[in-house]
A and B are shown apart, each in its own frame.
Chain A
Amino acid sequence: AQSVTQLGSHVSVSEGALVLLRCNYSSSVPPYLFWYVQYPNQGLQLLLKYTSAATLVKGINGFEAEFKKSETSFHLTKPSAHMSDAAEYFCAVGRSQGNLIFGKGTKLSVKP
């Protein structure tokens, strides 16, 4: 069975500070891993994905995530937060023929 755990339902950072959103997964087979972002009153959109190529994945808006098999982690980072990054972020795990399993989400606030 697959599962994903996001540590911290709310994260608050100052503008210009490092953003770190944590995600740990459980999977019995090599997983596909995703980060989706949801801006207020909108649907989710793909931020980045890992599908067994490079372990460091770069996404849109300056975000990146590193797949660490030994730690079963796929943490999302951005060196310098911008006010427009305020949103809810979802980590998800899936398989080629399976469903996507979402974490419970982390709401990111950015203080001026």
Chain B
Amino acid sequence: NAGVTQTPKFQVLKTGQSMTLQCAQDMNHEYMSWYRQDPGMGLRLIHYSVGAGITDQGEVPNGYNVSRSTTEDFPLRLLSAAPSQTSVYFCASSRGGLAGGPSGELFFGEGSRLTVL
């Protein structure tokens, strides 16, 4: 019962370094998305994908890249890390649309806590 798996759980970077947060789901969901969670800000959408080969920007896309070569995987790349990207990142997947649709729901990973010094 893996669901949505995120790695790593914790990461510390120096300003300017690059890294990739991995996300994999085993539920054959079409829709996948990346959110960042900051205190008092709720969750904000970074990028999303409606299927393999299709990605689009969310609310706060600057400084991040994504790709979706398979249904299962949706990695998030930080190109040149900045202290403003210190956050907790959540990957989510769903079958019925980005909002989960009328009969669906979003399934979240456990999060990746990133600190940029």
Name B22-45 residues within 8 Å CB distance of A.
Answer: 33, 35, 40-45
Asked if A99 is at the interface of the complex by the 8 Å CB criterion, the answer is yes
Kindly count the residue-residue contacts between A and B in the assembled complex, taking CB atoms under 8 Å apart: 72
Asked if A80 is at the interface of the complex by the 8 Å CB criterion, the answer is no
Chain B residues with CB under 8 A of A34: 99-100, 105
Contact yes or no, B111 A96, CB < 8 A: no
Contact yes or no, A98 B99, CB < 8 A: yes
* Chain B residue at minimal CB-CB distance from A4: B42
Size bin of chain B's contact surface = 20 to 34
Q: Would you give the shortest CB distance from B7 to chain A, in whole angstroms?
A: 14
Contact yes or no, B41 A104, CB < 8 A: yes
* Chain B residue at minimal CB-CB distance from A53: B102
Contact yes or no, B100 A43, CB < 8 A: no
**A34-B100, A95-B99, A96-B101 known; A102 and B106 CB under 8 Å?**
no
Contact yes or no, B42 A102, CB < 8 A: yes
CA of A51 to CA of B90, assembled, Å: 24
Residues on A lying within 8 angstroms of B by beta carbon are: 9, 32, 34, 36, 41-46, 49, 51-52, 90, 92, 94-100, 102-105
Pairs A–B under 8 Å by Cβ, sample size 8: A9-B40, A34-B100, A42-B110, A49-B105, A92-B99, A98-B99, A99-B99, A102-B43
The 3 A-B residue pairs whose C-beta atoms are closest, nearest first, are A94-B99, A43-B108, A46-B105
- Taking A44-B90, A94-B100, A105-B40 as known contacts, 5 extra A-B pairs with beta carbons closer than 8 A to each other, sorted by chain A number, are A9-B40, A32-B100, A42-B111, A99-B33, A99-B99
